[in-house]
Structure 1
Amino acid sequence: MSVGTTYKSCGCRTPEGRLLRTKCPRLRRKGGAWGPTHGNWYYQFELPPNSDGTRRSPIRRGGFSSQDAAEAQITRLHELLGISGDPEDRIRIADLIAATLKKEKRLPVPEEVRRKIRTGQDLDAVITVGQWLQTWLAGRKGLRSGTLRSYRTHITTHLQPVIGHIRLDRLRVADVQAVFDAIDERNEMIVRARESSDPGLRARVKGCRVVGPATMHRIRATLRASLNQAIRERRLDLNVASLIELPSGRRPKALVWTSERVSEWRQAREAFIAAKSHTHSTAGRRVRSGRIKPMDAYVSTPRPSPVMVWTPEQTGAFLDRAARHRLYALYHLIAFRGLRRGEACGLRWADVDLDEGTIRVRWQITQIGGRTEQGRPKSEAGERQVTLDQHTIKQLAAHRARQNQERLVAGDTWHDTGFVFTQPDGTRWRPWPSPSSSCCWRWRRGSRPSDCTTCGTARPPSCCAPDTT
């Protein structure tokens, strides 16, 4: 049975310079009781033997101002050794006590030791939040590439830099809140830079996105899922990510581009251009801001809602202008039958029956960073049969005839991919073409439904702002 004692000691020396320690006469009163002012309190504790049966050196620690403080350490030692009655566990705990005292000058926390004993972890192993997130991510099986990429982005971009260094078992609510405080600060920096008249400052945030409430909820969901796994493995007792309050992550309400809203948006855009194009003073000199790029004006002009919907007249106007484009059938199919970009790019002729007037949505192409991936729709409801109207059937038939002509022209260089919508050499389209793509229109939210200023071709019907040309 491990025992412990307390005693007093001081740093007084004899005339010869020898330390008196516990033999100093000033430590005790005349009656033999400990003196209240001289010296400090110490404790001595016998730990269980080593694994080979040899006796350990007793623990001696001091510097305590009261006997109660020294006895509290003995109580904690008894609590630690009483966590498990298994002899091997007691030896492991004794090893941990000795190592922690030597390295950190403190006793281990009983709750942490108890949790590790219960879950079979190494007592001297310390795992950080960053290490646990990587371990959790590596253990997720069967995830789609897009989902896996989202998790990895949440971890490496937002979670790891702020809380990755914190011990998993010491993660607190304030630590998680710091993640979203950092996101708010970054959002404010991006907004200020975009509104600045300094071209260099605007260039620094080019391509940067403001992290919205919905994305914040997804970041928290990633952390919460990883901490739930830690709770299931009994590494944690509480999921602190669940205690964070965030702005509502509900999807914004879609609004229709009525003529009044189009007019207000145009006026706001013109006001923005006028405000940014005037001369301003820099270091005592008058400097002209110069011409504002149309896309900068478009991005910086707020819309009535983040999600704007075309009217039938606007959709018709776009399709009229897109009629000369070689992918008009794709635009028509999306506009009239509601296919998603990835579903339209992944449509195969084997799933098209023009005689019956149906198509079967069985595949989609998703963009994963700089590469694409073919796969099934994400849900069972996404795999569906779509009925075609006669006009859409006519457009698809004309598109197939045009594609056959391109196959003849390409000859041996034709790639027989089987996709309905392809590039002139038969290769498939990306749902989000890169800037180096042979086609210069972009399928990006926010691109205007007007002719491309580079190649003169119409942009696709996935835009969400009115034609301002």
Structure 2
Amino acid sequence: MVRRANGEGSIYRRPDGTWAGQLTYRDDADRLRRPTVYGKTQAEVLRKLAAVEKRLESGAPVRDSSITLAAWLAEWTSTALPASSRKQATIDRYSMVTRKHFIPALGRRPLHLLRPSDVEALVLAKRREGLSAPTVPTIYTVLRAALDTAVRDGLLRDNPAAKVQRPAARRKEAVYLDAGEAGRLLEAVRGDRIEALIRLMLATGLRRGEALGLHWSDIDLEQQILRVRWTLSRTSQGLELGEPKTSKSRRRVPLPRFAIATLAAHHERQQQERIQAGENWFEHDLVFTTEIGTPLEPRNVLRRFEKLTRAAGLPEVTLHTLRHTAASLPLAAGTHTKVGQEHLEHSSYAITADIYSHVTPAQQREAADRLDDALPC
């Protein structure tokens, strides 16, 4: 046996001619540990022992865990993920991503055998599936978060996903309604229970959750403004009223005249429903409610909207189309893109300009015409 310096371990030749090395150390619980490595030569064992020592010095586990990715994800989604500060809707979405995208593709792979090339192959496969623009970056984000926790818990020394560049979201031009299509939609929703909701979303560019979470206390009809402070969403825990996810999402939105008239009329109708419901009315101060004052179910709103758009001959229109339309029409009329960025709380001017690039040709034509008028030629 070749003994090494105190605390470094020992190396010895086995009866079959191969070599083994053993390192002695105490773990965080002060328990004595003696991991063993094997090799065909003494030099190979020395290299392996040096690698073990380096891992111990860096605080990493001696060996990466052989638990499968599926088993780890099951643990992560039931413990670390719910314990995080993420909203319930985000927790639900991350859990769905693990079930739908990771477990079928990589679930049987041992955690310690997962490589950056596996992550890259997954990203490439998901792109080829034609998933929506933000979905592939989200898949990467979830996998990296899960593996970050595995590193934290000592199951891995390094996160293989961290060595892969995050896939960029491929932005598409926004689908929006022109003035004629918007008029057809408004005619289709006339008299319907969600008419006021649709008109307000079209006027302000609010997201569905922001509109459904709107309180009367957030609206100032005299100042012609509303504040976005809440968002309503359906989660695994039921309907959840929470704050917007970013500081930019908490904003003040100016109200055009037709939105003010819509809200005033809607308030009168809701007062009548409150009287008719009597003791059965649930007071939540919400702007858009059922006949007894309870929050509207987001999925029911979507189903009703889809039925109305089909009737209007606009089957490809979604609720998010209203948000794009609320931005596109003013931009096409000459509103500066910077104003649109602030109105939609995009993080940068470039994002707004990229998404709404379809409205710039009209603005460019107008600029060219103005140049004709200005130049004496």
Q: TM-score, normalised by structure 2?
A: 0.65
Residue 304 of structure 2 aligns with which residue? 441
**Residue aligned with 2:252, SS:** strand
* Aligned partner (choices 302, 312, 317) of residue 184 of structure 2: 317
**Residue aligned with 2:298, SS:** coil
**Deviation at 1:329?**
1.8
**Match of 1:418, as an amino acid?**
D
Residue 230 of structure 2 aligns with which residue? 363
Residue 250 of structure 1 aligns with which residue? 170
Alignment of 1:19-418 (within 5 A): 60-62=14-16, 70=17, 73-74=18-19, 77-78=20-21, 80-81=22-23, 92-93=33-34, 110=49, 113-114=52-53, 117-118=56-57, 119=59, 121=61, 126-137=66-77, 138-140=79-81, 141-177=84-120, 179-180=122-123, 183=126, 187=129, 211-212=131-132, 214-231=134-151, 236-242=156-162, 249-254=169-174, 308-368=175-235, 371-418=238-285
RMSD across aligned positions (CA): 4.3
**Deviation at 1:182?**
6.1
Residue 451 of structure 1 aligns with which residue? 311
Please list the CA deviations of residues 133-186 of structure 1 after superposition, one character each: whole Å capped at 9, or x if unmatched. Answer: 45555335211112212221222222233333333222223433554576578x
**Range that drifts further, 218-227 or 229-238:** 229-238
**Range that drifts further, 232-241 or 383-392:** 232-241
Please list the CA deviations of residues 301-349 of structure 1 after superposition, one character each: whole Å capped at 9, or x if unmatched. Answer: xxxxxxx111122112211232222332211111112111111111111
**Range that drifts further, 331-340 or 138-147:** 138-147
**Match of 1:329, as an amino acid?**
A
Query: Quick one: distance in 2 between partners of 1:112 and 1:126?
Result: 18
Query: Quick one: distance in 2 between partners of 1:222 and 1:363?
Result: 25
Query: Quick one: distance in 2 between partners of 1:132 and 1:440?
Result: 37
**Match of 1:215, as an amino acid?**
T
CA shift in 2, pair 1:421/1:227, >3 Å: same
Query: Which runs of no fewer than 5 residues in structure 2 stay unpaired?
Result: 4-8, 39-44, 325-377
Please list the CA deviations of residues 225-268 of structure 1 after superposition, one character each: whole Å capped at 9, or x if unmatched. Answer: 333454566654544325558975322122xxxxxxxxxxxxxx
CA shift in 2, pair 1:386/1:356, >3 Å: same
**Residue aligned with 1:425, SS:** coil
Conservation of the 8 A alpha-carbon contact between 2:67 and 2:110: yes
CA shift in 2, pair 1:390/1:216, >3 Å: closer
CA shift in 2, pair 1:2/1:91, >3 Å: farther
**Deviation at 1:218?**
1.4
CA shift in 2, pair 1:112/1:182, >3 Å: farther
Structure possessing the higher relative contact order (Cα contacts under 8 Å, 6 or more residues apart): 2
**Deviation at 1:352?**
1.9
More helix by share: 2
